[in-house]
């Protein structure tokens, strides 16, 4: 039975319906040839993004950083790391993107800085009780001589969440909090100086013309008063937990910060936007980040975390439209990013706690053919949904997770902090293949690459896929053009019933159906397929396939 779903508060702001393409700068394109991507590399490849048909790009951090967490450890929030270029390179990239009608969102990392940030260095020198230490979360240790950490919290990357410092007189001293690596000390967001500094950083980038910010760890900046002990429930997702009350995630106080930033962005023209990286266990909680006076978007991680199962997928879409609709925000949709196993691989995996990764010794690795079919079907469904969609670089090529990276190349702090127990995220961060026959597949012209590119990636290279009408690249271009033509980013959907193994809905005259079952699914008589996730003949929708069709 058909059922109408509304999305609330239709508005004309670009971010309500935009398709936003995530660029991971170190792996996108490398103009300098040092093996690490850079801003001039991005500028040189903007035409291919225009050609793809996206509306905006989000750049993971390119600010000054010692790169202990691939740039999510910022030492200067107002400059570009020399690895990636200069501020002038940034301005040029921004101007060139805007000239092509592509908006630009930058990554802001306000939960923590690098330990090389001047404020942290000052805090180390200034000593206990100083205003310099009050910008971070320093505490005395427990135990007779302060030799035990202030509480039992565990870092997302493994190990404890506290690091002890050596005071200026050479004695063991206080401890500081770091949700992530020890080189990423957390700011104290009850401190006025911290708040003022970030207002100024927002203005710095807004004045340069950016269209918005993706806000890192937007659910972690405020910690429960008193920092009570807490141990995660077994098998919890390390970024958000799967119980309701974690003293460092989702505390009420974070919302005041975003209300403040909302006002600040509203002073600027052009619908500047905030998108929160808030990993929360439920959609109800996630929607709190996008109440009308807070952020504009937040990532739909419950959707990303949903397994390839018709009931679960239908339910999460319904609930997303419902919960975001209740607060007047568009739903967002995302399947891959730089922290998760690529969805082309993940959707065929049996078990995958967030952040664990897949590597040479992982048992029962997903089969590449199933993975790609599911990945393409999932995107075909996603790009028909109302709201804003995020794509992660390389998914338009159907890139799988790089599962065979040898240990000696690994860079993710997760790998080191868990002593190799968790592979972490390197497998989704391998530099992109542009040209099948060029050094480093055209990532640069020297052949260097900060993570090794699998030899079989030649077949995924953009130039190879460009001339193949059945390629994943061709599919993404078709999907993006058709989504734009039909205005699918806005509006509502009508659910349809295509059986328990399918997810099916209608957008105007276009019916969308994905087969997540184990048997082909007959399409209605008279169906004219306008788009299919993979080639097939006949009137039955193969397993792991999605289509858009009309009827006469």
* Contacts to ligand NOJ by CB under 6 A: 69, 72, 109, 180, 216-217, 277, 338-339
Are 276 and 297 contacting, i.e. CB atoms less than 8 angstroms apart? yes
Min dist CB 72 to ligand NOJ, Å, is 3
Q: Taking a C-beta distance cutoff of 8 angstroms, is the pair 114, 75 a contact? A: yes
> DSSP characters for 28-43?
T--SS-SSS--HHHHH
| Shortest CB 107 distance to ligand NOJ, Å | 8
- Name the closest residue to ligand NOJ (Cβ): 72
Both tokens of residue 307?
A: 């397994």
Provide the edge-to-edge strand list for the sheet that holds 273-276: 297-298, 273-276, 212-215, 103-108, 56-59, 19-23, 388-392, 332-334
Q: Which is nearer to ligand NOJ, 386 or 413 (CB)?
A: 413
Q: 328: which 2 tokens?
A: 């007047």
The tokens of 262 are what? 């909302």
Smallest distance, ligand NOJ to C-beta of residue 69, A: 5
Dist CA 311 CA 316 (whole Å):
9
Q: Is 216 a catalytic residue?
A: yes
Q: Give the nearer residue to ligand NOJ in terms of CB position, either 109 or 265.
A: 109
Q: Please state the closest distance from residue 277 (CB atom) to ligand NOJ, in A.
A: 6
Considering beta carbons, is residue 277 or 356 the nearer one to ligand NOJ?
277
> Which of 65, 320 has the CB closer to ligand NOJ?
65
- Return the number of the residue (389 or 473) whose C-beta is nearest ligand NOJ: 389
Quick one: 215 or 310, whose CB is closer to ligand NOJ?
A: 215
The 3 state secondary structure assigned to 310-346 is HHHHHHHHHHHHHHHHHCCCCCEEECCCCCCCCHHHH
- 57 three-class SS: strand
Contacts of residue 315, defined as CB under 8 A and 6 or more positions apart, other chains included, come to: none
Q: Which is nearer to ligand NOJ, 424 or 542 (CB)?
A: 424
Q: Which two tokens stand for residue 82?
A: 């020399």
CB 503 within 8 A of CB 314: yes
Considering the complex, state which of residue 119 and residue 434 has its C-beta at the smaller distance from ligand NOJ: 119
Q: Which is nearer to ligand NOJ, 112 or 511 (CB)?
A: 112
**What residue has token string 């998760």?**
340
Find out whether 18 and 489 touch, Cβ atoms under 8 Å.
yes
What is the closest distance, in whole angstroms, from the C-beta atom of residue 71 to ligand NOJ in the complex?
A: 9
CB of 73 to ligand NOJ, least distance (A): 7
- Given 163, 216, 339, 401, the catalytic residue: 216
User: What is the per-residue burial (b if ≥16 Cβ within 10 Å, else e) of 278-303?
Assistant: bbbbebebbbbbbbeebbbbbbbbbb
Task: Supply 434's token pair.
Answer: 């542009």
We find the least distance from the C-beta atom of residue 252 to ligand NOJ, in angstroms, to be 21
What single string gives the DSSP state of each residue in 89-148?
A: HHHHHHHHHHHTT-EEEEEE--SB--TTSHHHHHHHHH-TT-TTGGGB-EE--BSTTS-B
Per-residue DSSP letter, 453: P
- Tokens 């026959």 -> residue: 437
Q: Which two tokens stand for residue 45?
A: 């490849």
Least Å distance between CB 144 and ligand NOJ? 34
**In this structure, what DSSP letter does residue 447 have?**
-
**Residue 307: which residues within 8 A CB-CB, separation 6 or more?**
347
From 73, 277, 356, 395, the catalytic residue: 277
Burial of 113: CB neighbours in 10 Å, binned 0-12, 13-18, 19+: buried
Residues in the chain: 552
Is 193 considered catalytic here? no
Tokens of 297: 């978007």
User: Bridge partners of 332?
Assistant: 388
At closest approach, how far in Å is the CB of 481 from ligand NOJ?
30
Least distance in angstroms from the C-beta of 238 to ligand NOJ:
10
Report whether 142 contacts 176 (CB < 8 A).
no
| Residues 133, 131: Cα–Cα separation, whole Å | 5
Given the complex with ligand NOJ, which of 325 and 359 has the nearer CB atom?
359
Q: Helices in 446-533 by DSSP H: which ranges?
A: 462-466, 472-486
In this structure, are strands 212-215 and 3-5 parallel, antiparallel, or unpaired? unpaired
Q: Which two tokens stand for residue 483?
A: 């989504």
Active site residues: 216, 277
């Amino acid at each position: 039975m058909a059922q109408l779903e509304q999305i609330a508060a239709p508005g004309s702001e670009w971010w309500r319906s935009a398709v936003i393409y995530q660029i991971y700068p170190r792996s996108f394109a490398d103009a300098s040839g040092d093996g690490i991507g850079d801003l001039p590399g991005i500028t040189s490849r903007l035409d291919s993004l225009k050609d793809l048909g996206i509306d905006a790009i989000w750049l993971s951090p390119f600010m000054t950083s010692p790169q202990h967490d691939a740039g999510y450890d910022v030492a200067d929030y107002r400059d570009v790391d020399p690895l990636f270029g200069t501020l002038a390179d940034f301005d040029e990239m921004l101007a060139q993107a805007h000239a092509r009608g592509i908006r630009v969102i930058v990554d802001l990392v306000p939960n923590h800085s690098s330990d090389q940030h001047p404020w942290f260095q000052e805090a180390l020198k200034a000593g206990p009780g100083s205003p310099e230490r009050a910008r971070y979360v320093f505490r005395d240790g427990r135990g007779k001589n302060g030799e035990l950490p202030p509480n039992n919290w565990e870092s997302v990357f493994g190990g404890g969440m506290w690091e002890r410092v050596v005071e200026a007189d050479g004695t063991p001293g206080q401890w500081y909090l770091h949700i992530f690596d020890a080189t990423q000390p957390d700011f104290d967001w009850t401190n006025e100086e911290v708040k003022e500094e970030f207002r100024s950083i927002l203005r710095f980038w807004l004045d340069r013309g950016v269209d918005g910010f993706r806000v890192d760890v937007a659910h972690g900046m405020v910690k429960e008063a008193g920092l009570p002990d807490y141990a995660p429930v077994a098998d919890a997702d390390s970024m958000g937990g799967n119980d309701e009350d974690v003293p460092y995630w989702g505390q009420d106080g974070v919302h005041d910060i975003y209300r403040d930033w909302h006002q600040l962005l509203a002073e600027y023209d052009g619908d500047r936007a905030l998108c929160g990286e808030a990993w929360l266990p439920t959609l109800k909680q996630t929607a709190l980040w996008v109440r009308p006076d807070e952020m504009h978007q937040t990532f739909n991680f419950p959707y990303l975390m949903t397994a390839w199962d018709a009931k679960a997928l239908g339910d999460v879409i319904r609930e997303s439209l419902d919960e975001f609709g209740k607060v007047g925000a568009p739903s967002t949709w995302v399947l891959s990013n730089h922290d998760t196993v690529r969805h082309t691989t993940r959707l065929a995996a049996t078990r995958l706690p967030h952040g664990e990764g897949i590597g040479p010794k992982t048992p029962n690795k997903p089969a590449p053919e199933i993975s790609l079919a599911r990945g393409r079907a999932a995107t075909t469904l996603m790009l028909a949904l109302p709201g804003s969609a995020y794509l992660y670089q390389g998914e338009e090529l159907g890139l799988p997770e790089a599962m065979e990276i040898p240990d000696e190349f690994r860079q993710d702090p997760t790998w080191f902090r868990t002593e190799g127990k968790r592979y972490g995220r390197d497998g989704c961060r391998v530099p992109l293949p542009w040209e099948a026959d060029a050094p480093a597949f055209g990532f640069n012209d020297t052949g260097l690459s900060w993570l090794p590119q699998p030899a079989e990636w030649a077949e995924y290279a953009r130039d190879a896929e460009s001339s193949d009408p059945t390629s994943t690249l061709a599919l993404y271009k078709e999907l993006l053009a058709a989504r734009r033509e039909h205005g699918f980013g806005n509006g509502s959907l009508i659910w349809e019933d295509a059986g328990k193994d399918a997810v099916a809905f209608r957008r105007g005259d276009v019916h969308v159906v994905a087969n997540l079952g184990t048997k082909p699914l007959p399409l209605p008589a008279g169906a004219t397929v306008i788009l299919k996730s993979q080639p097939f003949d006949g009137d039955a929708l193969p397993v792991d396939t999605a289509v858009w069709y009309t009827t006469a």
